[in-house]
């Protein structure tokens, strides 16, 4: 009994065991769903979680709060939209160029603003987010303005993947919706794998040192500015890729993808799921995508209930959902 418990604990705590568990859950999800709407939610959860996993590297591990992360998500989505529909690039090329472009943008912006600390950094990233939203709303020839812009379906290696198509593989018929879910799930698993590697690398250790105390880290010889910038760029690229994919998935985007509200939603996911817990933020993403669907009966109260949940989590589970629960399990096991 004790051994079984210990094993369970190890699977949950060891990061790569967690990755296997995640892949297993994602692979088994189709058994639990019954229609396209459920697949739509699952796909959204996976893409949102991908952004959150990237943002968590910055916020959870390095302790640098970004209140403008939707800007990178929006930039990725819009870059894909513009490059595919106005410059006729193939979606994959557009996605990669967008990610590279957003990476450069994050690097350029990050260099000056990451010198700021605490609230000042939050304010600067907030400003970045607001600027992105204004640009997307006003540069109408390019972005279509507040009414939004359409995107063609994604194509992978010359094969189009439309949400509305049907595809044959090895004698089995898949709908576009199912394949999109599998793609988003695969992207999430890769995103988590990369994040776990980063956390385990010298960069990850430097970031945690930085989170603990920036001065102490500097004294110990950690080039904090370099590492902060690096993780900022990485998390921006995560957001960009997820944004591009979401754009192709939905086929139509509006500037709300880069809005301040969306940035807040992303940071909420990280805090709610558990800072510095890669699997926690995935749970956070799932909750944030699902909550509006469960609260449709109390439309006017949605924000109130949502706020109450956040407050309750902060008061009773201050480290976020997953870390706090794991901590209790651990205590129980001992």
Looking at the Cβ atoms of 37 and 120, the one nearer to another protein is 37
Looking at the Cβ atoms of 224 and 250, the one nearer to another protein is 250
Number of helices (H) and strands (E) in the chain: give both, helices first: 15, 6
Rounded CA-CA distance 52/242 in Å is: 10
Looking at the Cβ atoms of 3 and 300, the one nearer to another protein is 300
Maximum C-alpha span of the chain: 66
CB of 7 to another protein, least distance (A): 22
What DSSP state is assigned to residue 68? -
CB of 140 to another protein, least distance (A): 5
Q: How far is CA 260 from CA 143, 238, 267, in A?
A: 18, 18, 11
> 133 with 74: CB under 8 angstroms?
yes
CB of 202 to another protein, least distance (A): 38
Q: Which residues pair with 166 in a beta bridge?
A: 175
CB of 298 to another protein, least distance (A): 6
CB of 246 to another protein, least distance (A): 8
What does the binding site for another protein look like in residue numbers (CB under 8 A)? 32-38, 40-42, 44, 137-138, 140, 145-148, 150, 163-164, 246, 250-254, 256-257, 286-287, 290, 292-302, 305, 309
Residue among 150, 202, 153 nearest 176 (CA): 153
Looking at the Cβ atoms of 63 and 247, the one nearer to another protein is 247
> 315 with 297: CB under 8 angstroms?
no
Phi, psi of 87 (to 5 degrees): -115, 5
Looking at the Cβ atoms of 206 and 287, the one nearer to another protein is 287
């Amino acid at each position: 009994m004790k051994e079984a418990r210990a094993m369970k604990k190890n699977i949950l705590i060891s990061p790569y065991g967690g990755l296997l568990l995640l892949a297993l859950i994602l692979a088994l999800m189709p058994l639990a769903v019954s229609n396209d709407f459920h697949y739509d939610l699952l796909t959204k959860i996976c893409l949102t979680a991908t952004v959150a996993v990237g943002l968590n590297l910055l916020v959870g591990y390095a302790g640098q709060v970004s209140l403008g992360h939707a800007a990178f998500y929006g930039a990725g989505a819009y870059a894909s939209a513009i490059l595919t529909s106005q410059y006729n690039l193939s979606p994959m090329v557009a996605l990669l160029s967008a990610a590279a472009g957003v990476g450069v943008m994050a690097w350029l912006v990050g260099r000056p603003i990451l010198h700021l600390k605490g609230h000042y950094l939050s304010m600067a990233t907030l400003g970045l987010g607001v600027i992105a939203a204004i640009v997307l709303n006003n540069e109408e020839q390019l972005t279509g303005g507040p009414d939004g812009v359409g995107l063609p379906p994604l194509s992978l290696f010359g094969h189009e993947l439309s949400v509305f198509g049907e595809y044959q593989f090895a004698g089995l018929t898949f709908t576009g919706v199912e394949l999109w879910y599998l793609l988003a799930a695969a992207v999430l698993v890769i995103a988590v794998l990369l994040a776990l590697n980063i956390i385990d690398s010298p960069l990850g250790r430097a970031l945690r040192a930085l989170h603990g105390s920036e001065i102490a880290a500097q004294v110990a010889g950690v080039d904090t500015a370099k590492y902060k910038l690096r993780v900022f760029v990485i998390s921006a690229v995560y957001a960009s890729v997820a944004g591009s994919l979401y754009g192709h998935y939905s086929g139509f985007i509006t500037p709300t993808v880069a809005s301040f509200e969306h940035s807040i939603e992303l940071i909420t996911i990280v805090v709610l799921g558990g800072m510095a817990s890669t699997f926690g933020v995935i749970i956070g993403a799932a909750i944030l995508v699902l909550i509006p669907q469960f609260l449709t009966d109390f439309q006017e109260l949605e924000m109130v209930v949502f706020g109450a949940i956040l407050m309750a989590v902060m008061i009773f589970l201050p480290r976020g959902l997953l870390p706090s629960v794991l901590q209790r399990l651990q205590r129980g096991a001992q």
